[in-house]
Amino acid sequence: MELLTQINETNINYYAPLIPMSVLEYAAKDATTEILGIEAFQTAAGAIVFSLDGSDVNIVWLGLSEEFQGMGIMYRCFYDFLDLMAQSGMKHIRATLHAGCDVRARRLLHEYAFDYSDARQATWYCTLKELRTKKIFKTESRHCISLREADEFMLRKLSAAVREDHMAYVDLPLEAKDYAACSSIYIRDNEPKAVMLVKENAGRLYIAYMYSKENQPQAMIELMAHTLGACDDYDEAMQVTTGVVNPAVIKLVERLECGRLERSKNAVLAF
């Protein structure tokens, strides 16, 4: 038997380990975001994280513990979630499916006949070799330093800037040890204007977060050049992936004709 339960201060500790820390950070700083826990067999099994915008519901994240998958639990709980939202007067359920999104999530929304359209976000796949052959990244990066070179004062400034970005799924405050050595900061007038946070996992590099305070492509170009310069010891066949949410950066990637850009999909269900 499973049920949806409201998350509050008394039970959050049971569900927190099931939810990515970045999503919890996002929920904590956004007053419109709520969490419903999924309880199965009297055990915390998963969660649905969503935000409310007027009569629209935006699904931020949903997931189920591996041990409870394959039992139809998420399917039944999602039905209860949709019913709850409809009874609350909501008109639309919205979600964004990114490239590489869990196939189970895609199947779930397909089962409930969500309508799809292209989103403004995308996922970019390429290799170090492809990036190194681009002349645009052979520029000087005189305004960049390694994240690990930043002092405590600079990291606090950077954390404050990232905190203002509502699209950031980043654990705060920022700590250099959480990211690869090739992560970089773009600094002008002693202020962090842009950042590229990189993680390494299973022989791949993942650009976990890109931020430009003034949406200047030049800052991102210098950051990439600096990051590539710190990757000399890596195999040129190593894959690099990143999610792209800034339209200016998407246009830059399209002009590069480097690697593969996969557009995300918006999914909408109207009641």
Please name which of 229, 267, 271, 270 lies closest in space to residue 115, comparing C-alpha atoms: 267
Residue 75: C-alpha distances to residues 63, 79, 135, 198 (Å): 11, 6, 49, 34
User: Hey, which residues does 93 pair with through a beta bridge?
Assistant: 57, 269
The pLDDT assigned to 26 comes to 76
Question: What residues contact residue 3 under an 8 Å CB cut-off, 6+ apart?
Answer: 38, 39, 77, 80
∠ CA 193-199-203, nearest 5°, is 145
Is 246 a residue whose pLDDT tops 60? yes
Which of 9-13, 94-98, 115-119 holds the top average pLDDT?
9-13
Least confident of 44-58, 101-115, 177-191: 101-115
How would residue 226 be classed by pLDDT, with cut points 50, 70 and 90?
A: very high
The secondary element (H helix, E strand) that includes residue 131 is helix 128-132
Contact indicator for 37, 11 with CB cutoff of 8 Å: yes
Please name which of 33, 226, 266 lies closest in space to residue 131, comparing C-alpha atoms: 226
Domains of the chain and any CATH numbers: 2-90 (3.40.630.30), 122-264 (3.40.630.30)
Please name which of 191, 170, 188, 166 lies closest in space to residue 179, comparing C-alpha atoms: 170
Please name which of 100, 99, 6 lies closest in space to residue 48, comparing C-alpha atoms: 6
Distance CA 195, CA 211 (A): 5
DSSP character for 234? Answer: S
Mean pLDDT across the stretch 49-59?
92
Average pLDDT, the chain: 85
Mean pLDDT across the stretch 175-190?
91
Is 123 a residue whose pLDDT tops 60? yes
The pLDDT assigned to 244 comes to 72
The residue with tokens 């890596």 is 234
Count of helices and strands (H, E) across the chain: 8, 12
How would residue 19 be classed by pLDDT, with cut points 50, 70 and 90?
A: confident
The residue with tokens 């005189």 is 142
Which of 28-37, 99-108, 204-213 holds the top average pLDDT?
28-37
Is 182 a residue whose pLDDT tops 90? yes
The secondary element (H helix, E strand) that includes residue 268 is strand 260-270
Residue 176: HSE in the Cβ half-sphere, 13 Å Cα cutoff:
17
Counting beta carbons within 10 angstroms of the beta carbon of residue 15, is it exposed (0 to 12), middle (13 to 18) or buried (19 or more)?
buried
Please name which of 156, 226, 227 lies closest in space to residue 191, comparing C-alpha atoms: 156
Percent pLDDT > 90 in the chain is 32
Counting beta carbons within 10 angstroms of the beta carbon of residue 118, is it exposed (0 to 12), middle (13 to 18) or buried (19 or more)?
exposed
User: Hey, which residues does 256 pair with through a beta bridge?
Assistant: none
The secondary element (H helix, E strand) that includes residue 261 is strand 260-270
Is 152 a residue whose pLDDT tops 60? yes
pLDDT digits (tens, 9 = 90+) for 228-240: 999 988 999 999 9
The pLDDT assigned to 35 comes to 93
Is 64 a residue whose pLDDT tops 60? yes
pTM for the predicted model, two decimal places: 0.62
Of residues 10 and 121, which shows the higher confidence score? 10
The pLDDT assigned to 44 comes to 93
Residue 206: HSE in the Cβ half-sphere, 13 Å Cα cutoff:
11
Is 103 a residue whose pLDDT tops 70? no
The residue with tokens 């690099």 is 240
Is 76 a residue whose pLDDT tops 60? yes
